[in-house]
Chains A and B, each alone.
Chain A
């Protein structure tokens, strides 16, 4: 039998939706963790490229491994708190005189959209591509930055 916590609400007794959501989220995290072999890797969105996102007090950082993609073939746009990465990886033909032992590398286009967890200052977004790793730096909007509140003694 499932045990569900009940709480007295304003209009009598009803199920607490927030604790229920919380439980669901934890359950999903647990399943996701098991799929990824417990290394803390999210199962991914199934859309190229795989992204890592991190933050510090001032910026959000979105990174993707895009080996062989020339910087001029990457298009980055922000739209209402979404970041859109578009691009194409081109692999030049090596001529008809060669024969292949292995051919594992893919060419093709990609389009990915990711929603950002905080508001960003769209005017100041920068991106660099170094050794095939793209880093998009998105400065947080002023209202999203952490503020320290001093406690005064009286």
Chain B
């Protein structure tokens, strides 16, 4: 996997049932979601989003991630080539497990959000012993 060349992927614009109330483009970040016995981890690519620009909302098993971006470049610049657009990021998921809301942690590094959602005690799998008779 490490020797593979990266391919260009067009940024996906968000398709929502709700209408946007603010102008500007909204994109869906690409994500990795994985879980271990203890927690669910979400990694989301949100280039241009600073750590204070991230909003995470978990309500009734509905997880919403949003990121605000600063404009790239200043007003005085003129575009010569434009291969990508910029805009906010938004994506939402349903989480089936019970999450311990008090221990959720999130960090941003190089434009990647790492969100750790620890499972509540109840949701952790219990190993059921099968007794031989």
Contact = CB atoms under 8 A, between A and B. Distances in A.
Interface stretch (A9-17, A22-30, A93-101, A119-127): A93-101
A61 B81 CA distance: 10
B8 to A, nearest CB: 5
A142 interface: no
Main secondary structure of the interface of A (DSSP, over half): loop
A54 B80 contact: yes
Contacts of B1: 107-108
A54 B82 CA distance: 8
Nearest to A118: B80
B45 to A, nearest CB: 4
B35 A98 contact: yes
Chain B: interface size category: 35 or more
Contact of B112 (A52, A55, A68, A100): A68
A54 B73 CA distance: 8
A143 interface: no
Contacts of B49: 131-132
A60 B111 CA distance: 23
A44 B29 CA distance: 20
A48 B7 contact: yes
Interface of A: 39-42, 44-56, 60-61, 63, 65-71, 88-91, 94-95, 97-111, 114, 117, 129, 131-133, 135
